[in-house]
Structure 1
């Protein structure tokens, strides 16, 4: 059966860090699936400036999602952790599955740890994914502790095109955090291509699992 998935992206390099490494291969291996992409990098800029999702961000995301639904979308996947509160809000106005890409990572972290490290390169990301992790923990009746680590400046370095420096900065934080927690959840998909040495705890990265779960929801 043919299915159409729309993604909503908040960074202008989403093709290199999201669609080509994750979305395109998933579509290629999933018969009948077509993926279209919406990008508005002002969504993240406004969220960062406001210290969280604003009413205006919610309104614009709802407009994009409604347009996608009107265009024949069977599901919508938001790829930015920082705006997941808006994704949760707009679900009630749509008739198709709408989810944020980090949700499966939150579920895996809760299932496999109690002291959960959250590694991020944006200041808004730990609180955003942390809310989802806490919701999943409550659903599971499990008490957990969150340990947040933000690699200041690494996201700007990545956006400037210096992936090598970005990776060095994040790896250093990763190795230190791994000594303090049971599991680690990467808070952003922009970090998911990070090459790193093995660590002694599970590391859950945002990416393919989000596409898989959204597609599964589309077929329920």
Structure 2
């Protein structure tokens, strides 16, 4: 059985990703989870500090030491920190940022000259997600326009435990971008449940969890 590592900053997402990774893999896998809410709390209050990168690197090194074939960091706020960790630790099990698959798919759907709307509920995610979409576009040889909307009220609702209100606000924002963008990107994995609340839309709406799980099993040759 192949081991796969996952690093979470939102405890509730561990079960979601566990199911997605095991469903995406063609072979039997054993997901090994590390849950550390401190990483996100610190990144939201003081930024992605060297201490955050050090702690994330320690988690990835721990998982590699347990023999995992790959590691998925499920927090989009830590996307650029994930890349720094990979550069620091060097060769070994691949390390995947949660939103890479989503960004690549968004660029593919938008096409050259397309419009990508990024919705986020946490301010610390907006910059990393916007930069990632532009970088994916450059790699694909196209140019896209990225518009970012920060849904602070939805973020507060989730923080207070009002998930129904969170999903309602995210769904309303998805509706506002209908016809104004070629694709809508939900920056946080925790926003994925709001897609069903939005109902059928002519504009594609992307969330990261399933695409990230697929990317993890692809880079570890478990498809």
TM-score normalised to the size of structure 1?
0.91
**TM-superposed deviation, 1:161:** 2.2
Give 4+ residue runs of structure 1 displaced > 4 Å after superposition. Answer: none
Residue of structure 1 in register with 2:34 after alignment: 38
Check conservation: 1:151, 1:170, Cα contact below 8 A.
yes
* Unpaired runs of at least 5, structure 2: none
Check conservation: 1:23, 1:208, Cα contact below 8 A.
no
* Unpaired runs of at least 5, structure 1: none
* Structural RMSD (CA): 1.6
Encode CA deviations 1:112-135: one digit per residue, 9 max, x unaligned: 111100011111112111121111
Residue of structure 1 in register with 2:181 after alignment: 181
Per mean C-alpha deviation after superposition, the further-off stretch among 95-104 and 171-180 is 171-180
**TM-superposed deviation, 1:74:** 1.1
Partner Cα distance (1:147, 1:47) in 2: 23
Per mean C-alpha deviation after superposition, the further-off stretch among 114-123 and 3-12 is 3-12
Match of 2:22 among 14, 23, 27: 27
Residue of structure 2 in register with 1:5 after alignment: 4
Encode CA deviations 1:130-154: one digit per residue, 9 max, x unaligned: 1211111111111111010111131
Residue of structure 1 in register with 2:131 after alignment: 131
Residue of structure 2 in register with 1:102 after alignment: 99
TM-score normalised to the size of structure 2?
0.90
Residue of structure 2 in register with 1:166 after alignment: 166
Residue of structure 1 in register with 2:57 after alignment: 62
How many residue pairs get aligned? The number is: 214
